[in-house]
Structure 1
Amino acid sequence: MKTEQITQNQLILFLIIYFYSTLVGFASAHLIQLSQYDTVIVLIIGSIGACIYALFTIKLAKRRPTEFISHYGKEIFPYWIHVIFMVFYCFSFLHISAFILREYEDFFVQTYLPETPNWAIGIILGFVVAVTVRSGVVTVFRTAQGLFFLVILADIVITAFIGKELTWDRWMAFVTNHSWNNIYKGSFYTIPFFGEVVIIVFLFPYLAQKSKTLKSVIWAISMALFFIMLNMVFLLLLFGPNLASHSTYPMLEMVRYIRIADFIENLDPFLISIWSTTIYLKISIMFYLSVQILAHLFHLKDTRPLVFSLAAVMVALSLQMSGGTTSLTSFFTESWATYSYFIEGIPLLYLLVDTIKQTKMKTKGE
């Protein structure tokens, strides 16, 4: 099957932005609340968990490198079980994209456009996502490649100028203040963020130089970990764990501490450029996977006819979710991690069953 090609360099740059996006922007307060000064340890554990996920996921994908799991999965599980899993994935990816879109809508409306209805933000971003996805998955990765350096530059500028505002005496707390309970709770919450690397199994046929994929993913996880840790450490040094965990958007509050001479009041535009870009790319890939799986289930050769109709569903779902920011936050902090473990564990289940089947066939052949 002929597919478009995504280079390993594009994969690395995209995954860095992908991991960075919602973890720093929307999840930092809850992560700090759970982990306190153990946040650095928790992030390292989460990245190790991601490498393990990547190892097994790529091992599964390499067994049929030119085929999509939505096609070959029926060779591993009975057809009806495979279809149930794919329908679940289709809804899950659509739900995740709608959830992130709703978080972005709430952030923008509450912070900058209080008189603007959520649907206006949702429709604008949803339309941009739909146009991007209709152009193909390679467009998403090329966009990430082009925007990566702007995102990282903005992040470096923010962290560089906030340095003089930090309370450096708090450094000792990273050495002395440890709690096994905090590490456990924080790790349980963080591993699913990095565990989203399992989306590689759905993208594997698009990748060039497939043999280098695991190495590329590990590089991406390591570099993303560095940028995420840098932001989390600066938040803790500036606010401490209590104030940071009680801020809705602690990164925004950190940026507002920055003053450059007398002509730049703050660097909000830099932060907005980072969040808008990273969130747009994450929504795009999740939405694309939902469209792709649905097209495969209906045996369509082209995903484009489904894009705008499913984008309308995504925007509508984001507007109807829960009933408010409080309910969304409650789901995110109480149920999201367990829900994600189930989603991310399905490819490992495919690998396990496929390995058992291959072992039995090999035994019979001998």
Structure 2
Amino acid sequence: MKTEQITQNQLMLFFILYYYSTLVGFAASQLIYLSQYDSVLVIYISGIAGVILAYFVIKLATRRPNEFFVHYGSEILPKWIHIPIMVFFFVSFLQISGIILREYEDFIVQTYLPRTPNWAVGCMFGMVVAVTARLGFENLFRIAQGLFYLVILGNIGNAIFIGKELQWDRWIAFVTNHSGQGIFIGSFQTVPTFGEVVILLFIFPYLTQKHKTLKSIMWATFFSALFIGQNIIWLLLLFGPNLSSHLTYPMIEMIRYIRIADFIQNLDHLLISIWATMVFLKVTVFFTISVQILAHLFHLKDHRPLTFSLAAVMVALSINTASGTAELTSFLYQAWAAFLYFLEFIPFLYLLVDTIKQSNKKNKIGNKLKT
């Protein structure tokens, strides 16, 4: 299997979009509900936690930089433990891709296609994800590299044209309105999103200049937190915390405030299409990793024969995750963060065991040399 296909620049730009997509599109109202004017602070706290996790993940990956975690993990933990963990990762990543797809389905159906069933949107989206997964990671990261500049232009344009609508007298609330409980609860719910950097463990062999990976993740986290924080600030200055937290998709409502002369009355279709592509990238990377995990477990040389069948499973998971948006939101708030913490802390177990084994090995070699 070919490796070293993804440059550090592509990795950085991808992770900026990766974090930005769901936090801005799906989680903004929930974050503002929990943390109010502390939401921006929560974003930066979560970003720092994500970088700390990335450090340990990269430290584990660099010990066997050209090997796949599915393979070398059995050298760290016994196979009877490692294989079930890999199956757990496979199911979890497939479920994550299904949940993000379900959020996107609900958004499209509620906003633009009210008479369209979720399964129709899911099938069309799933087909595109399957085709892209067959092309591999290299093309996926190239798409992110090109899309990034459109996102930058969209953010700049949004900041310019929405500025006249903002209630600037609310700025003082960012200084005076703070809540320790809001910061804690908001951080608890948001840290796992930045903790999804754990996927590095599965794509590490594809990276070039592996020694620069942590630096790339740090810059990606900084810029994504900057862009997310900017949008959260605009929401709070435009709608205030109470209205923002009760809007299902506050970002689209903010975009609809943009007016350019008389010939462009609404830019939401253009900006939403850019954002939808970011969601597509995130779903596809989780889906592709899950497919490759299964291919490695079965010792297949090519993962492509699995893509369409597993895409059908992903769509089925998205449809059956919840009966409606309210149930899905309740599930994500009550249980999803705890599940992601468990998933994302598994690499710590491997790192700890591997460190102990290496230390014991060095001690044995040292004792032999002494004798």
- What TM-score bracket applies, with the shorter chain setting the length? over 0.9
SS at match of 2:58: helix
- Higher alpha-carbon deviation: 265-274 or 124-133: 265-274
In structure 2, the partner of 1:188 is 188
* Pairing 1:312-331 to 2, within 5 Å after superposition: 312-331=312-331
d(CA) in 1 for partners of 2:275, 2:101: 12
- Give the conservation status (yes or no) of the 8 Å contact 1:50–1:194: yes
- Give the conservation status (yes or no) of the 8 Å contact 1:192–1:337: yes
Paired amino acid for 2:292 = Q
> Where does the alignment leave 5 or more consecutive residues of structure 2 unmatched?
367-371
d(CA) in 2 for partners of 1:143, 1:348: 31
Superposition deviation, residue 311 in structure 1:
0.6
Paired amino acid for 1:347 = P
In structure 2, the partner of 1:21 is 21
Deviation digits for residues 47-103 of structure 1 (CA, Å, limit 9, x no counterpart): 110110111000000000000110000011110110111000000100010111111
- Give the conservation status (yes or no) of the 8 Å contact 1:101–1:122: yes
Paired amino acid for 1:208 = T
In structure 1, the partner of 2:77 is 77
Superposition deviation, residue 209 in structure 1:
0.5
d(CA) in 1 for partners of 2:174, 2:21: 24
In structure 2, the partner of 1:232 is 232
Paired amino acid for 1:163 = G
d(CA) in 1 for partners of 2:4, 2:122: 29
* Pairing 1:1-366 to 2, within 5 Å after superposition: 2-366=2-366
Superposition deviation, residue 274 in structure 1:
2.6
Superposition deviation, residue 271 in structure 1:
2.7
Superposition deviation, residue 151 in structure 1:
2.1
SS at match of 2:345: helix
The TM-score, its normalising length taken from structure 2, stands at 0.97
Deviation digits for residues 9-52 of structure 1 (CA, Å, limit 9, x no counterpart): 10011000000000000000000111111111111100110110
- Give the conservation status (yes or no) of the 8 Å contact 1:43–1:225: yes
Paired amino acid for 1:250 = P
SS at match of 1:335: helix
d(CA) in 1 for partners of 2:159, 2:267: 11
- Give the conservation status (yes or no) of the 8 Å contact 1:244–1:250: yes
Superposition deviation, residue 142 in structure 1:
0.8
d(CA) in 2 for partners of 1:207, 1:95: 25
Superposition deviation, residue 137 in structure 1:
1.1
- Give the conservation status (yes or no) of the 8 Å contact 1:151–1:277: no
Paired amino acid for 1:28 = A
In structure 1, the partner of 2:369 is none
Superposition deviation, residue 123 in structure 1:
1.0
Superposition deviation, residue 147 in structure 1:
1.4
d(CA) in 2 for partners of 1:153, 1:332: 31
Paired amino acid for 2:259 = R
The TM-score, its normalising length taken from structure 1, stands at 0.98
Deviation digits for residues 142-186 of structure 1 (CA, Å, limit 9, x no counterpart): 111111111221222122211110000111010111111111111
- Give the conservation status (yes or no) of the 8 Å contact 1:4–1:138: no
Superposition deviation, residue 4 in structure 1:
4.6
d(CA) in 2 for partners of 1:107, 1:2: 37
d(CA) in 2 for partners of 1:203, 1:145: 17
- Give the conservation status (yes or no) of the 8 Å contact 1:5–1:206: yes
Deviation digits for residues 322-363 of structure 1 (CA, Å, limit 9, x no counterpart): 211111111111111111101110111111111111111111
- Give the conservation status (yes or no) of the 8 Å contact 1:73–1:350: yes
Paired amino acid for 1:15 = F
Paired amino acid for 1:31 = L
d(CA) in 2 for partners of 1:166, 1:47: 26
d(CA) in 2 for partners of 1:271, 1:120: 23
d(CA) in 1 for partners of 2:152, 2:91: 32
- Higher alpha-carbon deviation: 352-361 or 60-69: 352-361
Paired amino acid for 1:349 = L
Paired amino acid for 1:321 = T
Superposition deviation, residue 270 in structure 1:
2.8
- Give the conservation status (yes or no) of the 8 Å contact 1:66–1:204: yes
- Give the conservation status (yes or no) of the 8 Å contact 1:155–1:274: no
> Where does the alignment leave 5 or more consecutive residues of structure 1 unmatched?
none
